[in-house]
Amino acid sequence: MNAHLVLRIGPWSLRLRPRTVVVSSLLVAAALALAVVNLSTGDFPVPFPDVLRSLFGSASDGTAYVVRELRLPRVAVAMLVGAALGISGAIFQSLTRNPLGSPDFIGLTVGAATGALVVMLLLGGSGLSVAAGALIGCLITFGVIYLLAFRRGAQPVRLVLMGIGVSTMLAAFDTLLIVRAKLEEAMEAQRWLIGSVNTSTMVEVALIGGALLVLLPPLVRYGRELEMLSLGDEAAIAHGIRAERSRLVLAVISVTLAAVATAVAGPIAFVALAAPQLASRLTRAPGANIGAAAAMGAFLLTASDWIGRRVLPLDLPVGVVTAALGGLYLTWLLAGEWRRGRQLL
Amino acid sequence: MDNRLGARELTLAYDGAPVVDDLHLDIADGSFTVIVGPNACGKSTLLKALARVLKPRSGSVLLDGAAIASYPTREVARRLGLLPQSPLVPPGIVVEDLVARGRFAHQRLLRQWSTEDAAAVADAMRLTQVTDLASRYVDELSGGQRQRVWLAMVLAQQTSIMLLDEPTTFLDLAHQIDVLDICAELHEGGRTIVAVLHDLNQACRYATNLVVMRGGVVVAQGPPADVMTADLVNDVFGVPCLVIPDPATGTPLVVPVDRSRRALLPQ
Ligand SMILES: Nc1ncnc2c1ncn2[C@@H]1O[C@H](COP(=O)(O)OP(=O)(O)O)[C@@H](O)[C@H]1O
Ligand SMILES: [Mg+2]
């Protein structure tokens, strides 16, 4: 059940947990399958073989246009944003030792939203500058939270409570911005706040894909240190880890992913919270389960997009679906922890 | 060299006033050094500084002739291991995985599990008798079992110096003896052990070198037979007592005397 598989080639060795590999692969496969479904369905149905043909470049122009230009960006953004949120949540929950310590709970997503609204409503920007605003808003919020609660070891309860406080203040400010805005602008802002991949383009695919690609190497390196940090700072340092630096690097990776994801798709609720936990339930492995959380995030968001588009009668933004499912999940989580006699806060 | 590990003019503090002040200490190679002293006198703080977990306010810790701060963190972890007073159990981890984490300082991204890693973990688990617990969840173990698992983890690190902060606290008598016997075995195998203990009689039995602290300074140091006197115990712990030879080992045995029987004390 907990056995490892060790691959050795010469002096090199990798240690894998077969169950984790299988679970992650199945999740990726399920996400890809749903992605193909999403590519094939819509006002202009495209049969599966034609979807594959358009992707690999031998379909008729019209079909290829629908699949590649109209649908692919949305599907790709859903998967990549889901993966980014899954990773981000896995890191933060492990650093804070709290299932609620995910970016959407400690105020980072709201910070990103405020940044985006400031650009949209006060500076009159659109498109990429909104994304930049979200990024900056998220990073500033993180800076504040880091200084207040994160040094000297993340203190989970303080962090979550602080996050709730920061979120509430920022949300009030967001409301103020919207109330003061012109009607169309306010509607546009409100739409952004729901979180959606409906209007994604290849620019967004490149942004989120690029962020994942750039952050992958440090993630692989520091992911191993994350496991050691869960022994407490003293033990981690005694095993050769520079705890403070390691924690800062991991937090910055996590925040950047959450920030870019929010910049690209708006504040999508609950994926960062739920994906890591559902993933580790399936892998039954200790630690952050970063890879499995990424796969679970991609699957959850792709599935939510499918539900929003196909299962419900109208084309709902994916943020509405994740918020509804996430609310159920949170209730279930809190009830479960409460029954087990543990307190999250 | 006779002392691979030592402290020079070491002053340690958290935020406010120094907890340990201008401390000198040499840990003799191959010794079983036991640190005793009242609560909050700075034992854990000293141990953390010796393991480079806490940065000194002034002075330095020397390891193999150089300031410990001048080593890469990982290099320190290959020479010296620390079992903190209260390490955290990662949720959902099983015994074997926790012990395996002791190998971190010897591993690389692309050398995640060498044959030495496997051997070190198996040896550590055998020595601490946790092999049978390998696939049990650590947070479901008894205190005694869990402490042996932590010892196994430090042991898997394969350092010749091991610092153990209160390895026996919260264990019943049988498990205390268990853990101390493992330490003694490690010591006989050539390791240098530095442990913080509370029971003075156990300290006297197992230590080759006893370090007595009070208020952040070392008040006495040496073989237990020379150090452990009734005056010292009264002085440091404020407990009047008799010190007699331990009938089992001949080492000093501290017999506290309560208020109503003070008359028994020699004047
Ligand atoms: N992390 C910390 N932050 C601030 N003060 C601390 C910390 N750890 C210990 N202290 C203080 O330092 C003093 C010595 O503590 P410690 O070394 O743990 O004592 P001992 O291990 O001898 O019982 C105590 O007064 C304690 O309150
Ligand atoms: Mg202590």
Sign of CA dihedral A126, A129, A133, A135: positive
Nearest to A137 by CA among A158, A152, A153, A122: A122
Q: Residue A53 has what pLDDT?
A: 87
Q: Is the pLDDT of residue A300 over 80?
A: yes
Q: Which two tokens stand for residue B32?
A: 């079983």
**Which of the residues in chain B have pLDDT under 70?**
1, 267
Q: Ligand 1 test: best mutation among B11, B23, B43, B45, most atoms within 8 Å of CB? A: B45
Q: What is the mean pLDDT of chain A?
A: 89
- ipTM of model: 0.94
CA of A266 to the centre of ligand 1 (A): 46
CB contact under 8 A, B111 and A11: yes
Q: Is the pTM of this model over 0.90?
A: yes
- Give the three-class secondary structure for B61: strand
Nearest to B156 by CA among B188, B191, B121, B122: B121
A45-77 pLDDT, tens digit each = 888 888 888 888 777 888 888 888 889 999 999
Strands B161-165 and B192-196: parallel
Name the residue of B10, B19, B86 whose CB sits within 8 Å of the most ligand 1 atoms, as the mutation to test its pocket: B19
CA distance from start to end of chain A: 32
Interface test with A, best of B48, B55, B97 (most A CBs within 10 A): B97
CA A284 vs CA B16, B113, B227: distances in Å: 44, 21, 52
- Any CB–CB contact under 8 A between B14 and chain A? no
Domains and CATH numbers, chain A: 5-340 (1.10.3470.10)
What is the model's pLDDT at position A290? 96
Q: What spacing in Å lies between the alpha carbon of A197 and ligand 2's midpoint?
A: 54
Whether B101 and A284 lie within 8 Å, measured CB to CB: no
For residues B154, B159, B165, B170, the Cα torsion angle rounded to the nearest 10 degrees is: 30
**Which fold, B5-264?**
Rossmann fold (3.40.50)
Which residue, chain included where needed, has tokens 């700075």?
Answer: B42
- pLDDT computed for residue A331 by the predictor: 86
Q: For residue A41, what are the CA distances in angstroms to A6, A46, B113, B142?
A: 42, 6, 47, 56
Tell whether the model's pLDDT for residue A233 goes beyond 50: yes
Name every residue in A having a CB less than 8 A away from some CB of B.
1-2, 4, 6, 11-15, 97, 220-221, 224, 227-228, 230-235, 237-242, 280, 284-287
Lowest mean pLDDT among A107-116, A209-218, A298-307, B25-34: A107-116
* Band of pLDDT at residue A345, cut at 50, 70 and 90: low
* Subunit contact B78:A240, Cβ cutoff 8 A: yes
Residue A259 pLDDT > 60:
yes
Q: What was the pLDDT predicted at A220?
A: 93
Residues with C-beta less than 6 Å from any ligand 1 atom: B 14, 19, 37, 39-45
3-state helix, strand, coil in chain A (%, to 5): 75, 5, 25
Averaged over A307-314, what is the pLDDT? Answer: 82
Quick check: B87 and B150 in contact, CB under 8 A? yes
Tokens, residue B117: 């890693």
pLDDT of residue A1: 45
> Which residues in chain A are contacts of B87 at CB distance < 8 A?
231-232, 234-235
Average pLDDT over residues A241-266: 92
Closest CA to A234 of B213, B154, B199: B154
Nearest CA in chain A to B158: A239
Q: Please say whether the beta carbons of A212 and A80 come within 8 A.
A: yes
Whether A154 shows a pLDDT value over 70: the answer reads no
Do residues B103 and B117 touch, judged by C-beta distance below 8 A?
yes
CB contact under 8 A, A235 and B109: no
Residue A208 CA neighbour count, 13 Å, CB half: 32
Under the banding of pLDDT at 50, 70 and 90, the label for residue A2 is low
Cross-chain CB nearest to A234 (options B48, B78, B109)? B48
Q: What's the confidence (pLDDT) of residue B137?
A: 96
8 Å CB contact of A13 and B48: no
Distance of alpha carbon B86 from the chain centroid: 13
* Residue nearest (by alpha carbon) to ligand 1 atom 5: B14
d(CA A209, CA A206): 5
Local confidence band at A155 (pLDDT 50, 70, 90 cut-offs):
low
Instruction: Give A82-140 pLDDT, tens digit per residue.
Output: 999 999 999 999 988 888 888 888 888 889 999 999 998 999 888 789 889 999 999 99
Residue nearest to atom 4 of ligand 1 (CA): B14
Count of CB pairs separated by less than 8 Å, A with B: 92
Structure confidence at residue A328 (pLDDT) = 87
Element (H, E) at B164: strand B161-165
Q: What residues of chain A lie within 8 A of the CB of B118, using their CB?
A: 6
Query: Looking at beta carbons, which residues of chain B come within 8 Å of A4?
Result: 113
Distance CA A113, CA B164 (A): 49
Please name which of A309, A278, A330, A288 lies closest in space to residue A26, comparing C-alpha atoms.
Answer: A278
pLDDT in tens, B160-197: 999 999 999 888 999 999 999 999 999 999 999 999 99
Residues in chain B closer than 8 A to A1 (CB atoms): 135
Mutation site, B104, B106, B137, interface A, largest A CB count within 10 A: B104
SS3 B108: strand
